[in-house]
Chains A and B, each alone.
Chain A
Amino acid sequence: MHFGQSLIDALSLGALYALVALGIGLVFGVMRLANFAHGEIITGAAYALIFTWHLGPVVSVFVSLLVGVVLAILMELLVFRRLRTTTPATLLIASFGLSFLLQRVYEALFGTNVRTAPVASGLAGTVTVLGLRLQILSLVTIALTAVLLLAVHYFLTRTNLGLQVRAASTDFRTARLLGVRADRVIMLTFGISGGLAAVVAFVMTVQTGAVGPTFGVPLTVLALVGAVIGGIDRVIGSLVGGFLMGFASSFFSSWLPEGIVRFRDAFVFLLVILVLLVKPAGLLAGSGTVERT
Chain B
Amino acid sequence: MSDLPGKVAATTPTQTPLLDVRDLEVRYSGVPAVKGVSFHVDRGETVGLIGPNGAGKSSTVLALAGAVRASSGSATLDGVELTGHSPEEVVRLGLSLVPEGRNMFDGLTVTENLRLGAVARRSEVPLTAAIAEVVELFPILGEFRDRPAGLLSGGQQQQLAIARTLLAAPRMLILDEPSLGLSPTAVDVVFDALGRIRDAGTSVLVVEQRAEFTIAFCDRTHVLHDGRLTLALTPGAAHDADLLTKAYFGS
Contacts and interface: CB of A to CB of B under 8 A. Distances in A.
Interface string B126-156: 0000000000000000000000001001100
Given A160-B115, A170-B105, A181 B88 contact: yes
A170 B106 contact: yes
Contacts of A171: 103, 105
Contacts of B157: 292
Interface in B48-89: 65, 67, 86-88
Interface of A is mostly: helix
A166 B61 CA distance: 26
Contacts of B65: 177
Contacts of B168: 178-179
Contacts of B43: none
A285 to B, nearest CB: 13
Contacts of B165: 178
Q: Interface residue tally of chain B, by bracket?
A: 20 to 34
A170 B108 CA distance: 9
Contact of B87 (A163, A166, A176, A293): A176
B96 interface: yes
Most central of A176, A179, A180, A293 by chain B CB within 10 Å? A179
A163 B115 contact: yes
B120 interface: yes
B120 A179 contact: yes
Nearest to A181: B88
A178 B108 contact: no
A293 B181 CA distance: 8
Interface residues of A, number: 20
Contacts of B115: 160, 163
Interface in A131-165: 160, 163-164
Contacts of B193: none
A175 B97 CA distance: 11
Interface in B116-132: 116-117, 119-120
Contacts of B150: 290
B116 A176 contact: no
B91 A179 contact: yes
A167 interface: yes
Interface in A33-92: none
B23 interface: no
A173 interface: yes
Given A177-B65, A180-B88, A293 B119 contact: no
Nearest to A161: B119
Interface string B206-220: 000000000000000
B106 A178 contact: no
B226 interface: no
A276 interface: no
A201 B152 CA distance: 44
B53 to A, nearest CB: 21
Interface string A236-254: 0000000000000000000
B200 to A, nearest CB: 20
Given A176-B88, A179-B119, 18 more contacts: A160-B119, A163-B115, A164-B116, A167-B108, A167-B116, A170-B106, A176-B67, A176-B87, A177-B87, A177-B91, A177-B97, A177-B99, A178-B119, A179-B91, A180-B120, A182-B88, A290-B106, A293-B154
Interface of A: 160, 163-164, 166-167, 170-171, 173-182, 290, 292-293
7 contacts: A176-B87, A177-B65, A178-B120, A179-B119, A180-B88, A182-B88, A293-B154
Interface of B: 65, 67, 86-88, 91-92, 96-97, 99, 103, 105-108, 112, 115-117, 119-120, 150, 153-154, 157, 164-165, 168, 183
